[in-house]
């Protein structure tokens, strides 16, 4: 242990401790600008100087990087120290007059103005090197560095070109004490590679502003720790020690009695209809794109704007995109007419655009829906009955120039029309989620012809499947809106609960039974059972029927080559006896 005295107070520290750290132990505050506990000390700003007396010699040293020796006497605010510090701060004020932390220290020291010449009154960079050291030591990207010497010294990229090494982590901006390096500034100075986007796309981020739970996740593809083994800055900075890069995916097995499938839907991919130009024309957007645009947390703050930043003067909403169409999906997606009306109403509220709604039928089936449609009619939206054939940007007249032209057959007027608009919203339909087939196979349930999950009975059992204990809720079973989804979810939940709650379970008396002695384990029956009631027991080498699932159809019985499977009350012998009985004259 090393003993030294700071400001007439004794302190004992381990070898390797700096004066700054030793002073901290005594709660003595020494001002710093370029020091950060996570980085190696640099001693660039010189603000932390203290007077050190070692033996007979008294001199000024920087406390952040000077390691203590036994018997030193240190003064952090002696006359000599303060005089020197004031000079240093005045120089810093001349270098970076706009830097707030410098102004604060100046105020503490009682400095009103600097005697030195100010080159740039807007300059904030104090050349502390925190950004450079961060990029080098913590992140390991080495994208920025100091260039030039003396007056010309500055933080820069190689040749001032966009640095390819920069990963856009913005750690440099995080560490900068004076806001000389800011996220916007990075874009301006071309330090960050132009292809990288900043802000919400950092490797550790909260996915969306409405995320539940509202916690960040680490995108392992973008995170530099998983590429180089470095960084882990987020872990170091987190005071609650909540970040853990070593987290692994866990596979948990849970035994349950009933399952509710609520795997939802995905929107129809509008790119599949080339005539509508989605992906070609930037102002042709889908319903979901529009929802994201008009949301208050969108990049436009909820303003409805075309890609040129201006409000559209005319908007077209096209119904039945991918629905009611023998080329794509024949079914009606149920929700699109109503959300299209909602959009029309929103656009009317927020802009003064002329709105055209292209429909085949107006399906306003729910409570208050038809009344809402009437309101839209009164508001002045133009409804045109006809299927849009094409959206083009090739003008035939002067007023069509620069617009998107809707080509449609107006079936009520009986003519073909060309309608120029600024923005087109495609009311895309609903399709089952991407993993629909995989889920169907995993849970052994069927899909109906429209590829949504098949319910046990379209009228009498809309939330159950043919497998007991597996229930359906929401859009995975068929397209539906929120009130219907909530109702169906309640139904599925209550059926699942009553299944568990009943305490007793009714079995069919006419189920099939497999005779263990006769069964050869050929497993022919396993694949035939529509209720997945038969499983193969590897240890015993035979197939077994789950009495609770078996419905007593007898298919396995007639398929069984060894006669091991027999149906109660409909045994082979019983039916043979019936046949014989028929012919007794």
Partner 1 sequence: MSNEVFEPKIVGFLCNWCSYTGADLAGTARMTYAPNVRIIRVMCSGRVDPQFVLKAFHEGADGVLVSGCHPGDCHYQEGNYKALRRHRLLSKMLEQFGIEKERFRLEWVSAAEGVKFQQVCNEFTEEIRRLGPLNLNGGKHEQRKA
Is it true that the peptide bond before 213 is cis, omega within 30 degrees of 0? yes
Which one, 528 or 548, has the nearer CB to partner 1? 528
Instruction: Pull the structure tokens for residue 515.
Output: 């005779």
Buried b (16+ CB within 10 A) or exposed e, 176-196: bbbebbeeebbeebebbbeeb
> Which residues are near partner 1 by CB under 8 A?
446, 466, 510, 528, 530-531, 551-555, 557-559, 567, 570, 572, 575-576, 578-580, 582-583, 585
How many Å apart are CA 148 and CA 109, to the nearest integer?
A: 31
Q: How far is the CB of 531 from partner 1 (least distance, A)?
A: 8
Which one, 220 or 448, has the nearer CB to partner 1? 448
The CA-based diameter of the chain, rounded to the nearest angstrom, is 136
Handedness of CA 488, 490, 493, 494 (dihedral sign): negative
Q: How far is the CB of 510 from partner 1 (least distance, A)?
A: 6
Tell me the angle at which helices 79-95 and 100-109 cross, rounded to the nearest 10 degrees: 150
Which one, 385 or 551, has the nearer CB to partner 1? 551
Which one, 372 or 466, has the nearer CB to partner 1? 466
Q: How far is the CB of 528 from partner 1 (least distance, A)?
A: 7
3-class DSSP string for 23-39: HHHCCCCCCCCCCCCCC
How many Å apart are CA 193 and CA 191, to the nearest integer?
A: 6
Ramachandran region of residue 132, left (φ > 0), alpha (ψ -120 to 50) or beta?
A: alpha
Q: How far is the CB of 551 from partner 1 (least distance, A)?
A: 6
The string of DSSP letters for 71-125 reads: T-EEESS-HHHHHHHHHHHHHHHHH-TT-HHHHHHHHHHT----SSPPS-TT---
Which one, 286 or 567, has the nearer CB to partner 1? 567
Cross-strand bridge partners of residue 324: none
Which one, 76 or 566, has the nearer CB to partner 1? 566
How many Å apart are CA 167 and CA 425, to the nearest integer?
A: 36
Which one, 264 or 552, has the nearer CB to partner 1? 552
Handedness of CA 98, 103, 106, 112 (dihedral sign): positive
Spell out the residues 6+ positions from residue 105 whose beta carbon is closer than 8 angstroms to its own: 31, 33, 47, 89
- CA geometry: angle 72, 77, 81, nearest 5 deg: 80
Q: How far is the CB of 458 from partner 1 (least distance, A)?
A: 12
Which one, 226 or 466, has the nearer CB to partner 1? 466
Which one, 71 or 458, has the nearer CB to partner 1? 458
257, HSE (Cβ side, Cα atoms, 13 Å): 12
Q: How far is the CB of 559 from partner 1 (least distance, A)?
A: 7
Say if residues 350 and 496 touch (Cβ distance below 8 Å): no
Q: How far is the CB of 556 from partner 1 (least distance, A)?
A: 9
Q: How far is the CB of 495 from partner 1 (least distance, A)?
A: 19
Instruction: Pull the structure tokens for residue 198.
Output: 């900043």
**Nearest of 84, 4, 24 to residue 50 by alpha carbon:** 84
Which one, 252 or 582, has the nearer CB to partner 1? 582
Q: How far is the CB of 365 from partner 1 (least distance, A)?
A: 27
């Amino acid at each position: 242990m090393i003993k030294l005295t700071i400001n007439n107070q004794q302190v004992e520290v381990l070898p390797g401790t700096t004066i700054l750290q030793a002073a901290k132990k005594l709660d003595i505050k020494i001002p710093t600008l370029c020091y950060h506990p996570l980085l190696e000390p640099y001693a660039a700003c010189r603000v932390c100087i203290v007077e050190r007396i070692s033996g007979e010699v008294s001199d000024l040293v920087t406390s952040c990087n000077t390691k203590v020796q036994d018997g030193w006497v240190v003064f952090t605010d002696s006359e000599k120290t303060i005089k020197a510090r004031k000079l240093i701060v005045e120089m810093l004020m001349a270098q970076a007059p706009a830097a707030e932390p410098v102004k604060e220290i100046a105020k503490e020291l009682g400095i009103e103005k600097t005697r030195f010449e100010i080159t740039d009154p807007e300059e904030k960079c104090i050349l502390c090197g925190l950004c450079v050291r961060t990029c080098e030591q913590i992140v390991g990207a080495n994208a920025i560095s100091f260039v030039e010497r003396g007056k010309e010294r500055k933080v820069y990229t190689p040749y001032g070109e966009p640095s390819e090494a920069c990963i856009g982590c913005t750690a440099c901006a995080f560490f900068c004490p004076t806001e000389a390096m800011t996220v916007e500034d990075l874009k301006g100075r071309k330090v960050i590679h132009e292809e990288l986007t900043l802000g919400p796309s950092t490797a550790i981020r909260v996915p969306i502003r409405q995320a539940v739970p509202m916690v960040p996740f680490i995108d392992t593809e973008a995170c530099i720790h998983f590429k180089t083994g470095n960084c882990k800055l987020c872990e170091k900075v987190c005071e609650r020690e909540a970040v853990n890069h070593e987290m692994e995916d866990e596979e948990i097995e849970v035994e349950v009695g009933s399952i509710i499938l609520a795997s939802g839907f995905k929107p129809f991919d509008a790119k599949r209809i080339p005539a509508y130009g989605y992906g070609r024309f930037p102002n042709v957007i889908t319903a979901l794109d529009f929802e994201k645009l008009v949301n208050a947390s969108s990049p436009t703050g909820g303003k409805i704007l075309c890609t040129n930043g201006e409000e559209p003067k005319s908007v077209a909403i096209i119904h039945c995109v991918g629905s009611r169409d023998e080329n794509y999906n024949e079914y009606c997606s149920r929700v699109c007419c109503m959300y299209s009306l909602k959009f029309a109403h929103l656009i009317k509220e927020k802009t003064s655009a002329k709105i055209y709604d292209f429909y085949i039928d107006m399906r306003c089936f729910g409570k208050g829906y038809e009344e809402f449609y009437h309101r839209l009619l009164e508001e002045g939206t133009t409804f045109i009955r006809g299927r849009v054939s094409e959206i083009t940007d090739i003008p035939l007249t002067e007023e069509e120039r620069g617009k998107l032209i809707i080509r449609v057959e107006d079936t009520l007027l009986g003519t073909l029309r060309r309608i120029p608009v600024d923005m087109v919203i495609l009311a895309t339909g609903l399709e089952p989620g991407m993993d629909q087939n995989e889920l169907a196979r995993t849970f052994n349930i069927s899909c109906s012809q429209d590829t949504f999950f098949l319910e046990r009975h379209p009228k009498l059992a809309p939330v159950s499947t043919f497998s007991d204990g597996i229930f359906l809720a929401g859009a995975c079973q068929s397209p539906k809106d929120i009130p219907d989804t909530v109702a169906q979810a309640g139904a599925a939940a209550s059926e699942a609960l009553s299944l568990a709650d009943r305490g007793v379970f009714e079995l069919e008396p006419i189920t099939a039974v497999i005779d263990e002695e006769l069964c050869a384990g050929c497993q022919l029956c396993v694949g035939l059972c529509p209720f997945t009631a038969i499983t193969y027991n590897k240890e015993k080498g035979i197939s077994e029927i789950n009495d609770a699932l078996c419905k007593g159809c007898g298919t396995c019985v007639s398929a069984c080559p060894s006669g091991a499977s027999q149906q109660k009350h409909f045994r082979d012998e019983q039916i043979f006896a019936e046949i014989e009985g028929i012919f007794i004259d």
